[in-house]
Structure 1
Amino acid sequence: MKSPSVIRTLSAALAATILTAAAVPEARAQATGLQASGTQMIGAETIRLTAFRQAVAERAARDETLAAFYRARDFEGIWSGEEAAERRSAFVTALAMAPAHGLPASRYDPDVVRALLTNARTPREQGQAEVELSRYFLAFARDLQSGVLDPGEVIPLIKREVLYMDPLEVLKGFADGNPMGYLRALAPTSPEYQRLLRARMEMQRQLNAGGYGPTVSASLERGATGEQVVALRDRLTAMGFLAPSVSMEFDAALEAAVRRFQVSVGLTADGVVGGATLDAINVPLEERLRMVLVAMERERWMNNLERGQRHIWVNLVDYTAAVVDEGHVTFRTKSVIGAGDADRQTPEFSDVMDHMVINPSWYVPRSITVNEYLPSLRRNRNAVSHLQVIDRNGRVVNRNSVNFSQYNARTFPYSMRQPPGSSNALGQVKFMFPNRYNIYLHDTPSQHLFSETVRTFSHGCIRLDDPYEFAHALLAAQEDDPVGFFQTRLDSGNETRVNLETPVPVHLVYRTAFTTADGVVNFRPDAYGRDGRIWDALAAAGVAVGAAGL
């Protein structure tokens, strides 16, 4: 989580403390350069400070950013006086909209700011309030721009580094620019965030109006009639998949709506309501809204990250990997991700793909070697015979010369490798974005896994359903005949590294709620339970599913 100085909540009690602070003798902070007489020494020149500026200097000295900001302004304020009215109004308006962005309403209460401004009557009180308002503004700006939470502290496998703007530049930008325009630009401007924001507000209005209505309690398909069909029709209408109707028949229009809904939740679009479809239709609106709020927080974590005009977007829980060019998906394929065990889950991070390997060898990770294969080798030296035993010098070792039973996981001195071939665990091509987690994208001989709805089977790497076509899409940027180029090297049977002339950013993300270009919100199950934990952390910080901010 952020430090207390960043996320402090400006409550009425805190405001009262600030307003009564003038009655308490304050120590003169050395950082301000103030003397007991109320003067500041700048070189040989002595400048008498007003009570307002004196208070600003003393209060700002507690924070390096605020001290630098106000020192550069000769301790003049940005919140006081008629000339700051537009700035104050814009900030209060932005605070009122904080819950719409999924920020904690209790942390950012516009009434506290109004009270602080109204009750600070003396110049000294106004100077103290001035600095606290700037502190409050910086905390708000940071949350709105980059998220309420520190992702790695909530989920250790989120290895994403959140990029924060320089708070001094944020203050300067706000003070020097159009207040309302600057505040609006703090939130992510990505199309995804804007669509999520609109969806969140629409879903909140719907929740206030009663939600999705009665649940559907029976399996249904085309031709059915009765009250359960009406319940199904009403829920799909409330979700936006069907135009309003009073028909009690499961007709072609309703079947088409069911198919559209099934696509939006990642299910086979057969138009039949039963099993997983029935469960998905009955998910409460409140739960869907929480998923959207988590997705907005996740989007804020990536706000200042340069995604790349061309990049690879792997949504782990959508089980897809896509090539994105200038905001448009130009290629997409199914994927398999890490299994649900804590030591096999795929982490979330961004890196840069710089090459692919055609006909790769598989160098077995040490953890798999000693935990999964060594026990078998101790029982039978010819176990896992498709793997070579390799010594420290990279030479293949004759198994008959090794007494495997004398080694344990700590002392085993060998590594293992699977040579190139059609049965190689990596298939016949892998895509490398070198990273400390040893995660990459690759082919697989286990093609049957792609017929599963939930595809959590790997040791952490991402397996691709259409790896050759994925390679063609990447090579098209540098080869006149990407298919022929790839096939020639594949047919050689030799392990071949192919560098990407222009490296491509790769983003491994986890979005249980995401939108399509036309604004339809898609939902996916929380395969690793990560979004549930993120919601719990957001709720603990004060984020709520409520009507405030609309």
Structure 2
Amino acid sequence: MLFSRLNVWRKYFVALLLCFKVIFPLGAFASQGNDIAYKLALSKELADVGAALEFYQERRFEPIWVGRSRDARKRLGALFAAFEDSAAHGLPHGLFDARAIRNNIRSIRTSVDLGEVEGKITRTYLQYAQMIQFGVVRPGAVDEEIKRKRSKIDQRSYLTNLVLSDAQAFFQSVYPQSREYARLLKEKERLFGIIARGGWGAPVTGGKLQPGDRAKHVVSLRNRLIAMGYLERTLTDRFDADIQRAVQAFQLDHGMAGDGIVGDGTRAELNKSPEDRLAAILVAMERERWTNFERGNRHVLVNLADFSAKIMNNERIEFQTRTVVGTNKDDQRSPEFSDEMEHMVINPTWNVPRSIAVKEYLPAFQKDPNAHGYLNILDASGQIVSREQVDFVAFDENTFPFDLKQPPSTRNALGLVKFMFPNRYNIYLHDTPSKSLFAREVRAFSHGCIRLQDPFDFGYALLSVQSRDPKGDFHRALNSGVETVIPLDKHVPVHLIYRTAVTKPTGGMTYRRDIYGRDAKILAALVGKGVVITPLAR
């Protein structure tokens, strides 16, 4: 495997050997610290990288890459090995070109050349560290509903720590260290091998296939399942119990109802190519870099593409429930961001967002002033206004002066509890009276907030770390019928993510559909930056 310890060391020593084959003119290395031409050239090259320039000034401009010391040689060898593996991490092909750097070093003839090359290598190293740590593209530039800011490396620290560390070990620690990232790398290599061997063979043909069928189309299904690792080798041409179990396992891995019947949806997923899955892996790796920060030992993880919410505790699932997420419409898709859950509200009042009030309810009131009688209409002072006193036709989206509220009840749009992590997007998790939607395979029906199938159990789990009787505390507040805020003694990090490719801790992959088309945008942006979606990227 590409990222095995043996292979890393092999690449490192090959790169180190090549470093020693580079020949430098002695004059260019004489007393760099006192060489004005060298200093000026290096300073000019790093003029817009203030942290790097300060680093060199502190060490009296001693080079860290292009020098005759053993440490510099080892450092350069580790850099070359990392650059040669950069495409395997899904970084732009050719951007980190070890061969070009070697040629630049060979071309050094003067102190000015030395300063320029040293500065260019440092600049490229910092660009590499930034990309492999925190991503190739800027999230918000790809899709404005991805509300994440790409973190920036501390350039000074990355230079200082490199110099103070074993170079080869340092470069192994630069990319994300999460288990998910490591498993994605492993799966990427596995897919490379599958593609090199010709893929998964012919696609599944025919119409609907179900247990008991016997036809050439069943053979195409059988062969595909065998090639994908879901079925042991067999010569049967009958849709038997083994094939049904294999189809069910495939369906569950791909977010579909495990009915064991091959319809259009299941066939479409079965016929996705290894190249399609490889693209999803590369996008997942980029997304993993975007969230390359401390997520909290205990946190809430909402995967929008998976329609699920989990309470994670030291990388284990403490609690899990189905969700309904935002509809695939402008201003209704659920955004991606991270925050902290501070409290829950039992028996909540629904303060209708203005966008919903003027776009959905105002037109209804204009047709029938008594429509949606469960809503209270309030003026600017917070007083309830009689509908008989309002001429709704006189207002439009810009001039409607009222607020709408729905008092606590079992019919409340938020159900009986909501979980708050105050944020500028007005997104939170909540109960819902529309329970039937949780039976759907694709559950994108809300205005952006996240509805929970099991909100009470979710609440018990959150309270379990601060109460001896979490269920009792919850229901005493619920039975009061009064809107009640229960603070969380310790805030819980909440991460709304969108992952269409997720590894299984025990091995294997799960894939989900790109319901909002965000991954397609990310893939296009990566390709636009030079990322190559083929095994040739090795």
2:180 equivalent among 170, 184, 192: 192
Whether contact under 8 Å (1:313, 1:506) holds in the other structure is yes
Residue 228 of structure 2 is aligned to residue 239 of structure 1: yes
Whether contact under 8 Å (1:99, 1:548) holds in the other structure is no
Residue 369 of structure 2 is aligned to residue 381 of structure 1: yes
Whether contact under 8 Å (2:222, 2:243) holds in the other structure is yes
Gaps of 5+ in 1: 1-38, 41-46
Residue 35 of structure 2 is aligned to residue 60 of structure 1: no
- Taking a change above 3 Å as real, the CA distance of residues 412 and 264 of structure 1, as seen in their structure-2 partners, is same
Q: Distance in 1 between matches of 2:302 and 2:211?
A: 36
- Between 1:252-261 and 1:366-375, the stretch displaced more is 252-261
Q: Distance in 1 between matches of 2:268 and 2:48?
A: 54
Q: Which residue number in structure 1 is paired with residue 4 of structure 2? A: none
Q: Distance in 2 between matches of 1:234 and 1:340?
A: 36
Residue 315 of structure 2 is aligned to residue 318 of structure 1: no
Q: Distance in 2 between matches of 1:117 and 1:244?
A: 55
Q: Distance in 1 between matches of 2:403 and 2:489?
A: 32
Q: Which residue number in structure 2 is paired with residue 493 of structure 1? A: 481
Q: How many residues are paired up?
A: 506
Q: Which residue number in structure 1 is paired with residue 63 of structure 2? A: 77
Q: Distance in 2 between matches of 1:385 and 1:474?
A: 34
For 1:484, what is the secondary structure of its paired residue? helix
Q: Which residue number in structure 2 is paired with residue 350 of structure 1? A: 338
Correspondences of 1:254-333 after superposition (within 5 Å):
254-303=243-292, 305-333=293-321
- Taking a change above 3 Å as real, the CA distance of residues 109 and 548 of structure 1, as seen in their structure-2 partners, is farther
Q: Deviations over 1:87-107 (max 9, x none)?
A: 111111111111111111121
2:497 equivalent among 487, 509, 525: 509
For 2:419, what is the secondary structure of its paired residue? strand
Shift of 1:182: 1.2
Whether contact under 8 Å (2:205, 2:221) holds in the other structure is no
Q: Which residue number in structure 1 is paired with residue 472 of structure 2? A: 484
Whether contact under 8 Å (1:53, 1:76) holds in the other structure is no
Q: Distance in 2 between matches of 1:252 and 1:398?
A: 64
Q: Which residue number in structure 2 is paired with residue 130 of structure 1? A: 118
Q: Deviations over 1:354-383 (max 9, x none)?
A: 000000010101111111111222233212
- Taking a change above 3 Å as real, the CA distance of residues 314 and 62 of structure 1, as seen in their structure-2 partners, is closer
Q: Distance in 1 between matches of 2:356 and 2:50?
A: 49
Letter in 1 for 2:479: D
Letter in 2 for 1:267: M
Q: TM-score, normalised by structure 2?
A: 0.90
Fraction of identical pairs, as percent? 43
For 1:186, what is the secondary structure of its paired residue? coil
State the Cα RMSD in Å: 1.9
Q: Which residue number in structure 2 is paired with residue 201 of structure 1? A: 189
Residue 395 of structure 2 is aligned to residue 438 of structure 1: no
For 1:345, what is the secondary structure of its paired residue? coil
Gaps of 5+ in 2: 1-30
For 2:341, what is the secondary structure of its paired residue? strand
Letter in 2 for 1:275: D
Shift of 1:516: 1.7
Q: Distance in 1 between matches of 2:484 and 2:163?
A: 56
Whether contact under 8 Å (1:97, 1:549) holds in the other structure is no
Residue 176 of structure 2 is aligned to residue 170 of structure 1: no
- Taking a change above 3 Å as real, the CA distance of residues 49 and 428 of structure 1, as seen in their structure-2 partners, is same
Shift of 1:273: 2.0
Residue 218 of structure 2 is aligned to residue 229 of structure 1: yes
Whether contact under 8 Å (1:264, 1:520) holds in the other structure is no
Q: Deviations over 1:293-338 (max 9, x none)?
A: 10110010011x2211110000001001111111111111110111
Q: Distance in 2 between matches of 1:516 and 1:384?
A: 46
Q: Distance in 2 between matches of 1:244 and 1:494?
A: 62
Q: Which residue number in structure 1 is paired with residue 19 of structure 2? A: none
- Taking a change above 3 Å as real, the CA distance of residues 369 and 75 of structure 1, as seen in their structure-2 partners, is same
